[in-house]
Amino acid sequence: MRNSHYSSVVLPVFLLFITLVMGGCANKNGNTALNPQTQTEQPLDTAPAVTSEIVYSDDDGLFSEDDDDLFSDDTPFELDESAEISDPFYYFNKAMFHVNDKLYFWILRPTALGYKAITPQFFRVGVANFFHNITMPIRFTSSLLQGDLTSSGTELGRFVVNSTVGILGVMDPAENYLDWQPNNQDMGLTLGKYGIANGPYIVWPIFGPSTLRDTVGRSTDYFLSPLTYLQPDKLSISVQAIDKVNATYFSLGDYEAFKQAYIDPYERMKEFYIEYREKKIAEE
């Protein structure tokens, strides 16, 4: 009995651990793999591969046009050179970058590929829609605090329609039939829109790239997510692990392509992350 209890606790924690690392390495910010029906994989519009001869073969063509992912943005990269990125924790950050990299390739990527092998596409799309729908309070609150009443109203309407007509959010009739688009806001973006600067760049073990501002925002998002309050705790951990595994499937190939494209992936990751967040904050 003692061994059984031990396993029932450790297994969910292990699943959450490995999937969170994957979310960090191939980060989509947890809330960006929102409409997988429209996502297809797109090659990086970046420098040619120069660092490795390894060929990754799991670019399954899912993300080519509307992917709102950190690594698949095809707009020219133009980081403001006058705004130097603060990186006072450089040695810690770089160590965590390599730790997360190894965890991704040794554990997390194989797990996501296994999940892909045993689940059909319609199932993965439905799971993504469900988890996006249930985390509506994050986007609703963020939009409301930004004074964007239109977006907050749209999020509330999407939740009502998708939770009922869309069968608990498994389907997305709000977007497909009413053209109510999700806004994908979070509290880190809200703080940015209030004029709060990034602060130091931080690479968290398991969670991946962030800044001091986004770390505060992510902590707030955690308390706004209904998944946090599921009881018992091991149920909450297990459900969030499923969410992360499913979301990771939709980013397979992104991190691999990123590593192949750059001589110094750490520096490029830092620049891409800051540029991506600044662009999201600048959006109306």
Each residue's pLDDT tens digit, 173-203: 999 999 999 888 999 999 999 999 999 999 9
pTM greater than 0.85:
no
The whole-number pLDDT of residue 79 equals 52
Q: Are 50 and 263 in contact (CB under 8 A)?
A: yes
Looking at residues 218-240, what average pLDDT do you find? 91
Q: Is the pLDDT of residue 84 over 90?
A: no
For residues 21-28, average pLDDT:
41
The pLDDT tens digits for 100-120 are 999 888 888 888 899 999 999
Give mean pLDDT, residues 54-73: 44
The model's pLDDT over 123-173, given as tens digits with 9 standing for 90+, comes to: 999 999 999 999 999 999 999 999 999 999 999 999 999 999 999 999 999
